[in-house]
Homo-oligomer: A and B are copies of this chain.
Amino acid sequence: MHEFTIGDVVREHRRGRGHVTALVDGDRRLTYAELDQRTNRLAHALLDAGAGPGERVLWLGVNSFRIIELLVACAKVGAMLCPANWRQSSDELRFVLDDLRPAVVVWEAGPLDAALEPLREATTGKWVCHNADDGYEDWLSSHPDSDPGCEVSEESPVLVLYTAAFDGRPHGAMLAQRALIAHSMMLGVVRQIEEGFVCLDSGPLFHVGTMMFALATLNFGGTNVVLPTFEPELACRLIERERCQAAMLFPAMIAQLVEANADGRFDLSSLRFAAGDEPWNSMITIDESPWGRSFAGYGQTEVAGMLTYHALGLEGTGTSGRPSLFAQLRIVDPVDGELPDGEVGEIVARGPHVFSGYFNRPELTAAKLRGGWHHTGDLGRREKDGTISFLGPKLRMIKSGGENIYPAEVERALNSHPGVSAAAVIGRPDPEWGQNVVAIVVPAECAEITEAELIEHVRTVVASYKKPKEVILAEEIPRRGFVPDYDELDDRYGGGGYPGA
């Protein structure tokens, strides 16, 4: 009686918000009543195709409202949806198909055709083309719209997201229904989501950063406006037309929106977002929620999104705020002993929105979840005031002259210099020291900075042994979303030899 699944969320919205628009995608608009009906049909379709409890459904294509409805349909029958990264190579897609062995693959005809054709023949699942006339819609509408009425546990995984290949191959993190709902509620607290919330799904739904906002919007009975891929003009048009209040926007995307709206022809005032530079601030409404006042925090796919929120530690010295109110967090040594405040160790977590393990990786799962705590693989420190500082992945800790150096600390020191626009730190193998700290720095516009000046600046902010041996001035830092692309930086500038890797 206390169970509450994503199927239940939609059933409830059908009754309480049946007329509210749940999904917008191009010309397509679905109310919650329609979403509940369509996901009933899809649920029957999945069961007929063998995609029952524990089975997988794979999505291969760009963003679509169908990712959300397939997720709800999976929730109703106890299956799992995996929206795959469609930007992957044919080899990578083959890996996912072999790994996941999906009962149903919903794919998009178009650019991926050539890559998918050989894969299709090598798999046993049912393939449904979502953008062909005789495809997905026919499949859906040939099934009844009655509730399938399956007993589904809220602890059943419903979403699989493949995460970064920390050991050379990707792993599918499984997130339970309850995990997604708990995370949505916490995000809703910090973002102060209210009735009538409208979110532009402007990032990729195969990434937890966009998915977590799409799911919170669903949970709160709001409207998800799905953008197939990011196009600044279309994004502006949709924000204006749908009165979007939120969107997933990296700094580079904001710059493109500002450029697309340089003449002010789009009214973006419905968008409530963290303050940035002019003219962005004058186009939008500054988000005064805790999330808007102090953006984001520390997170990863394995906790369904955010584990800590800046907004929960505003007065603190830690760089990542405090944990979600649905999570416990500890800093532990290599044998899982809790470390005192101020010491660096691995961040471990437990609670309702921690994941349920990696699909098809029993040994890795057992290792990551040993002792009932999820081992994030990231290093952090609890400051004296109880707030958390995230220091970077264990795998990328630099060891130089026997000392542990955390790139994030050195990067923060560099970024505190007014002449620095962006900075990233890598370790380069060195026969004498093990590794040397190398900083790649993009100077601020019109700033004249020298290598010696920056090294000296870092020395005054953090311990001397952490200062870069070399500073490389560059025109850009390659990025993956909010964070630097360290693999690419290692390739370009000779990084490597990380002792934890």
Contact = CB atoms under 8 A, between A and B. Distances in A.
A369 B189 CA distance: 30
B185 A354 contact: no
Contact of A1 (B189, B330, B369): B369
B1 A373 contact: yes
Interface string A76-112: 0000000000000000000000000000000000000
A437 B402 CA distance: 87
A179 interface: yes
Contacts of A325: 9, 185, 188, 219-221
A432 B204 CA distance: 70
Contacts of A128: none
Given A219-B325, A328-B8, A2 B351 contact: yes
B178 A2 contact: yes
Contacts of A1: 350-351, 354, 369, 372-374
A15 interface: yes
Contact of A386 (B2, B19, B326): B19
Nearest to A330: B15
Given A1-B354, A219-B325, A311-B195, A382 B155 contact: no
Contact of A15 (B12, B17, B382): B382
A16 interface: yes
A423 to B, nearest CB: 29
A288 to B, nearest CB: 10
A11 interface: yes
Contacts of A326: 4, 181, 185
A312 interface: yes
A193 B189 contact: yes
A12 B387 CA distance: 11
Interface in A123-180: 155, 176, 178-179
A290 B2 contact: no
B323 A16 contact: yes
Interface string A182-225: 00011011001111000000000000000000000001110000
A322 interface: yes
A385 B386 CA distance: 46
Interface in A338-393: 350-352, 354, 369, 372-374, 382, 385-388
A312 B195 contact: yes
A297 interface: no
Contacts of A12: 323, 327-329
A351 B4 contact: yes
Contacts of A323: 12, 16
Interface string A1-38: 11110001101100111110000000000000000000
A387 B188 CA distance: 21
Interface string A302-329: 0000000001111000000011011111
Contacts of A9: 325
Contacts of A220: 325
A354 B178 CA distance: 16
A181 B189 CA distance: 14
Contact of A189 (B189, B221, B351, B387): B189
Contacts of A350: 1-4
Contact of A4 (B17, B352, B386): B352
A476 to B, nearest CB: 36
Contacts of A179: 2
A280 to B, nearest CB: 25
Instruction: Report which residue of A16, A181, A330, A382 has the largest number of chain B beta carbons within 10 angstroms of its beta carbon.
Output: A16
A352 B1 CA distance: 8
Nearest to A154: B352
Name the residue among A2, A290, A322, A350 with the largest chain B CB count within 10 angstroms. Answer: A2
Given A192-B192, A314-B195, A328-B11, A16 B322 contact: yes
Nearest to A2: B352
A4 B326 CA distance: 7
Given A1-B369, A16-B382, 16 more contacts: A1-B373, A2-B352, A4-B326, A4-B350, A12-B323, A12-B327, A12-B328, A15-B329, A15-B386, A16-B313, A16-B323, A181-B326, A185-B325, A185-B326, A189-B193, A195-B314
Interface of A: 1-4, 8-9, 11-12, 15-19, 155, 176, 178-179, 181, 185-186, 188-189, 192-195, 219-221, 290, 311-314, 322-323, 325-330, 350-352, 354, 369, 372-374, 382, 385-388
7 contacts: A1-B350, A3-B352, A4-B352, A8-B328, A12-B328, A181-B326, A195-B290
